[in-house]
Amino acid sequence: MAWSFNVSSVTIMVLCILLLFFMMKPRLPIRLNFFFVAFALTEILTLFTDILSSWMDMHHELFPVWSLYLSNGFYFLFFIGRSFCFLAYTMALFGPSSGKVGKALQRLVCLIFLGLELIVVSCPLTGLIFSIDRDLGYRSGPFYNLIYFALYFFLLLGILYAIREAKILNPLQRYGLFLSCLAVAAGGVFRILLPHILVMNSFFMLAVLSLYLAFENADLYMEQRTSAFNYQTFEKVVEERIYLKKDFWMCSVMVRNFSEAREIYGGEQMDAAIGLVSEFLRRSFRDMTVFYDINGCFVLLGPPGTDSRSVREIVQARFKEPWRAVNTDVHVDLVYAEMASSLRFRDARDVVECVRRLMEAAAQSPDTDFILMDQEMMDSIRHSFRVRRALNRALEEGTLLAYFQPIIDARSGEVVGAEALARIQDPEIGMIPPGEFIPLAEKNGSISRLGELMFRRVCAFLHKYDLEAYGLEFINVNLSPIQCKDQNLAELFRSIMKEYDVSPEKIHLEITEEALIEEAVLHAQMDRLIEAGFSFALDDFGSGYANQFRLKEYPFTGIKLDMKIVWSHFKRPDSLLPNTVETFSNLGFYTTAEGVENQEMSEGLRDMGIVYLQGFYYAKPFPEEAFVAYIENQRAERQVEEERVD
Ligand code: C2E
Ligand code: MG
Ligand code: MG
């Protein structure tokens, strides 16, 4: 007994210290943490009441009957509660992933738990589990074994639940859960083998310890610099709110010029300033949970019905002042973003993605300091998310398509070339135009892969069809400004051409004005590609800032006039476009007009001296087979016409 008492008091002390540490650190407002505290607390109370009731039972003649009922009653309540808390913990751990069956099981378990506790409470009247005899003291009741049933039923179910669902955990968590299951199982076995020694409690302490180290240690969830919760935990909390059908309120507080400010003030000062922002948010909004993502982005999760306006005003007022960090006044721009309360999210992933995209949108809008995310914005964010997924899929599976739009010789009216244009045919969204996915690919770096695939498609086309036999002189391929920075591009193109046994003279590379920004890089790139045998056309002239003087510096052979300046001329004709075309011709560039949509444009542009025409008046971009069929058809019609003239 003395040994048991010593072990038990050490166990109580260890658990108290653990709980104290746990309570001192910030905690995520999730059920898991609630049941962890409940598990550790019921363990301490079970031990305490066990020692107390055993001692009182031994000296029962000294105590009134009601006090013996109380001490024994509480012991049994906590005894059952402890194993129930272990089960509830594992259930909370996997709650959202266990679906409807999980929910029904949870209800059933709660009912059994309440029933058992009720039986314990009724003991002074029924004596089912125990009773107190005025002379003999404590006596076991006819249903005493229900206590063991509760112990083994809850523990076994908890272990089974953990085994079944553990696949969604990371290795450390799985290890911690395994250890805690092992500990409670060993505790259960020892209880049968050595019922009078209080060793089971020590095993339960080991279980609490394992859970703490694997799941509950706050350092796992905190962003060290800011003492806010890290962004991964945001999904966890939202997931539970949605699972429990609990409403919530959200807003995002972002430092817009984060990278710029980091360069101006230095890393140490910015980290300190972000720490101050975090502290301010946590102090000002105590009923909210503050999460920190990278680059100065915070998310606040609050209760439904939060007064949005007052939160916004408090934040905006504070950001007007500098943040005094490491003896420096750090001034940063605020972007405050809020979700309209009418928004409905599908799941936690949806919320997390929407907030992420919202942050990206905020970073790119230099003029606003307040964004209200409404349904329209959310739909467009969702759409761009789906496009992103489709893009990844198309590049991974190599299902990116090349469409071909005919380019017409303005004088003869014959198809002499084509522009290859990228398309994605996605099973979810359908046909996606490049205007939607090229900017995304440029942002996430996959444009190199996309460019390579498109180049392959064109080479495969050139390998398959004899261009000359179809009267075609060239195929245009678009290059992104990002691709232009790749020093190995010429080498890559060379090796692909070798693979398909095609020569570069038939390939014209189109680059837009944006690529002209990095002059030296582009010059070197163009030189390498020209050496490899390609020629260049400037795409979309007139849509940006390029002018005739700058173009002289680059080895372009052709200029493609953007459809906007073509359309603008035919809306309000003046001498601007004809003069531009004439200047380019005099400088030795061939010109192509884009966006030719009707006969008037076609004739007007030809009379201006434009060399090539491209536009819906002739044809929209086609898939490969349709494009070939179109040319064959055109040639057949022309032949019939020539024969008729003859
Ligand atoms: P772009 O290179 O200027 O291509 C011409 C765009 O104008 C094509 O749009 C074409 O379908 C459209 N177009 C042609 N004629 C007409 C017309 O008469 N009326 C109207 N309204 N539009 C016409 P698309 O295919 O949507 O491509 C948009 C842009 O996406 C391209 O503009 C190009 O900048 C980019 N892009 C397409 N494919 C690729 C690619 O493989 N790589 C790169 N880097 N960019 C690409
Ligand atoms: Mg183009
Ligand atoms: Mg263009």
Range scoring the smallest mean pLDDT among 86-95, 480-489, 496-505: 86-95
Is residue 1 over pLDDT 90? no
Q: What is the pLDDT of residue 451?
A: 97
**For ligand 1, what atom is nearest to the CA of residue 422?**
38
- Nearest ligand to the C-alpha of residue 620? 1
CB 90 within 8 A of CB 161: yes
pLDDT at position 257 over 90: no
pLDDT at 37: 95
The CA 510 to ligand 2 mean position distance, Å, reads 6
Any domain includes 1: no
Nearest CA to ligand 1 atom 43: 478
How far lies 341's CA from each of 234, 237, 250, 349, in Å?
18, 18, 9, 18
Name every residue whose Cβ is closer than 8 Å to that of residue 21 and which is 6 or more positions away in sequence: none
Residues 6+ apart with CB under 8 A from 324: 276, 330
Domain's final residue, options 373, 406, 421: 373
pLDDT of residue 2: 54
* Mean pLDDT, residues 294-298: 88
Could you tell me if 528 and 555 are in contact, meaning their C-beta atoms sit under 8 angstroms apart? Answer: no
Given pLDDT bands bounded at 50, 70 and 90, which one contains residue 349?
Answer: confident
Q: Which residue CA neighbors atom 44 of ligand 1 most closely? A: 480
- Å from CA of 387 to ligand 3 middle: 22
pLDDT digits (tens, 9 = 90+) for 195-214: 777 678 889 999 999 999 99
Distance CA 366, CA 246 (A): 35
**Mean pLDDT computed over 257-279:** 91
CA of 564 to the centre of ligand 1 (A): 13
Quickly list H helices, 320-433: 348-363, 375-397
Ligand 1 atom nearest 434 alpha carbon: 30
Torsion angle defined by CA atoms of residues 262, 263, 265 and 267, in that order, rounded to the nearest 10 degrees? 50
Q: Is the CB of 562 under 6 A from ligand 1?
A: no
Phi, psi dihedral angles at 399 (to 5 degrees) = -95, 10
In eight-state DSSP terms, residue 227 is T
Residues 6+ apart with CB under 8 A from 521: 484, 485
Rounded Cα distance, 248 and 476, in Å: 53
Q: 438 CB under 6 A from ligand 1?
A: yes
* Weakest mean pLDDT among 181-195, 448-462, 492-506, 587-601: 181-195
CATH of the domain at 146: 1.20.1070
**Does 242 lie in the same domain as 132?**
no
Instruction: Give the ligand with the smallest distance to the CA of 407.
Output: 1
Quick one: pLDDT at residue 351?
Answer: 87
Q: At what angle do helices 200-211 and 2-24 cross, to 10 degrees?
A: 20
Specify whether 550 is located in the same domain as 641. Answer: yes
Provide the percentage of residues in the chain whose pLDDT is more than 70. 98
CA of 105 to the centre of ligand 3 (A): 61
* 146: amino acid identity, one letter: L
Is the Cα dihedral 244, 245, 247, 252 positive or negative?
A: positive
pLDDT score of 3:
54
Say yes or no: 359 and 492 in one domain: no
Residue nearest to atom 42 of ligand 1 (CA): 478
We report the CATH number of the domain holding residue 476 as 3.20.20.450
Shared domain for 435 and 560, answered yes or no, is yes
DSSP H/E element including 180: helix 171-193
Question: Which of 199, 179, 180 minimizes the C-alpha distance to 189?
Answer: 199
| Ligand 1 atom 25, closest CA | 421
Q: Is 205 a domain residue?
A: yes
Per-chain mean pLDDT for the chain = 91
User: What pLDDT sits at residue 4?
Assistant: 60
What Å distances lie between residue 63 and 68, 132, 138, 254, 283, CA to CA? 7, 11, 12, 64, 50
Report CA(543)–ligand 3 centroid distance (Å): 9
Any ligand 1 atom below 6 A from CB of 478: yes
Nearest CA to ligand 1 atom 22: 595
Q: Which DSSP category does 609 fall into?
A: T
Domain shared by 511 and 639, yes or no: yes
- Longest Cα–Cα distance of the chain, Å, equals 132
Residue 328: the pLDDT is 86
**Which residue's CA is the closest to the ligand 1 atom numbered 17?**
595
Substitution site in 395, 401, 415, 438 for ligand 1 pocket (most atoms within 8 Å of beta carbon): 438
Q: What separation in Å is there between the alpha carbon of 560 and the centre of ligand 3?
A: 7
Tokens representing 314? 């408090």
| Whether residue 623 has pLDDT greater than 70 | yes
pLDDT tens string 84-109: 999 999 998 887 666 777 788 889 99
Where does the pLDDT of residue 477 fall: very low under 50, low under 70, confident under 90, or very high at 90 and above? Answer: very high
The SS3 call for residue 296 is coil
Out of 142-156, 268-282, 513-527, 604-618, which region has the weakest mean confidence (pLDDT)?
513-527
Do 506 and 536 fall into the same domain? yes
Question: Is ligand 1 within 6 A of the CB of residue 436?
Answer: no
Verify whether ligand 1 is closer than 6 Å to residue 433 (CB atom). Answer: yes
pLDDT in tens, 559-612: 999 999 999 999 999 999 999 999 999 999 999 999 999 999 999 999 999 999
Pairing of the two strands 130-133 and 137-140: antiparallel
Across 183-197, 209-223, 277-291, least confident range: 183-197
The pLDDT-based confidence of 639 (bands split at 50, 70, 90) is confident
Give the distance (Å) from ligand 3 centre to CA of residue 638: 28
8 Å CB contact between 357 and 379: no
Assess whether 215 and 235 both reside in one domain.
Answer: no
How remote is the CA of residue 338 from the centroid of ligand 3, in Å? 38
- Check if 421 has its Cβ closer than 6 Å to any atom of ligand 1: yes
Does 380 reside within a domain? Answer: no
pLDDT (0 to 100) of residue 95:
74
Question: Residue 61 above 80 pLDDT?
Answer: yes
Coil, helix or strand at residue 334: strand
Evaluate: CB of 426 within 6 angstroms of ligand 1. Answer: no
* pLDDT above 90 as % of the chain: 66
**Token duo for residue 193:** 């083998």
In short, whether 480's Cβ falls inside 6 Å of ligand 1 is yes
Query: Is 144 near ligand 1, meaning CB less than 6 Å away?
Result: no
Distance in Å, CA 448 to ligand 3 centroid? 19
Rounded to the nearest whole angstrom, what is the distance from the C-alpha of residue 539 to the centroid of ligand 2? Answer: 5
Q: Which atom of ligand 1 is nearest to the CA of 540?
A: 3
State the Cα–Cα distance between residues 472 and 475, nearest whole angstrom. Answer: 8
The last residue of a domain, from among 220, 235, 268: 220
Please report whether residue 560 resides in a domain: yes
User: Ligand 1 in contact with 401 (CB < 6 A)?
Assistant: no
* Mutational test site, ligand 1, from 594, 599, 617, max ligand atoms within 8 Å of CB: 594
Nearest-angstrom CA–CA distance, 17 and 629: 80
Between 125 and 197, name the one with better pLDDT. 125
Ligand 1 binding pocket includes 615 (Cβ within 6 Å): yes
Distance CA 31, CA 237 (A): 9
CB distance 472 to 415 below 8 Å: yes
Q: Specify which residues 218 forms β-bridges with.
A: none
- 82 shares its domain with 211: yes
SS3 558: strand
Has residue 485 got a pLDDT over 60? yes
Each residue of 309-322: pLDDT tens digit?
A: 999 999 999 999 99
If asked whether residues 482 and 587 sit together in one domain, one would say yes
Question: What CA–CA distance (Å, rounded) separates 335 from 627?
Answer: 49
Assess whether the C-beta atom of 595 lies below 6 angstroms from ligand 1. Answer: yes
Q: Which atom of ligand 1 is nearest to the CA of 479?
A: 44
Radius of gyration of the chain (CA): 37
Q: For residue 254, list its beta bridge partners.
A: 297, 335
> Does 235 lie in the same domain as 166?
no
Residue 337's CATH number: 3.30.70.270
397 CA distance to ligand 2 centroid (A)? 25
Going from the C-alpha of 260 to that of each of 47, 122, 567, the distances in angstroms are 58, 69, 40
Q: Assess whether 237 and 281 both reside in one domain.
A: yes
Tens of pLDDT, residue by residue over 354-412, are 888 788 777 777 778 888 888 888 888 888 888 999 999 999 999 999 999 999 999 99
- Please tell me the distance from the alpha carbon of residue 423 to that of residue 434, in angstroms, as a whole number: 6
Taking alpha carbons only, the member of 329, 311, 322 closest to residue 370 is 311
Residue 245, domain member (yes or no): yes
DSSP 316: H
Give the pLDDT band (50/70/90) at residue 549.
Answer: confident
Please check whether residue 291 lies inside any domain of the structure. yes
Q: Residue 406: enclosing H or E segment and its boundaries?
A: strand 401-409
- The parent domain of residue 68 ranges over 6-220
Task: Quote the DSSP letter at residue 607.
Answer: H
Cβ of residue 439 lying under 6 Å from some atom of ligand 1: no
Q: Which residue has the higher pLDDT, 339 or 583?
A: 583
pLDDT at 338: 87
State how many domains the chain has. Answer: 3
| pLDDT of 484 | 92
The pLDDT score that the predictor gives to residue 244 is 85
Alpha-helix runs per DSSP H in 484-613: 489-500, 519-531, 548-551, 563-571, 576-587, 599-608
> For residue 324, is pLDDT > 80?
yes
Within-domain flag for 112: yes
Task: Compute, in angstroms, the gap from residue 419 CA to the centroid of ligand 2.
Answer: 7
For ligand 1, say whether the CB of 621 is within 6 Å of any of its atoms: yes
CB atoms within 10 A of CB 372: 14
Evaluate whether residue 378 is within a structural domain: no
Q: Calculate how far, in angstroms, residue 435's C-alpha sits from the geometric centre of ligand 1.
A: 8
Residues 522, 533: one domain?
A: yes
Q: Which of 220, 252, 270 represents a domain boundary (last residue)? A: 220
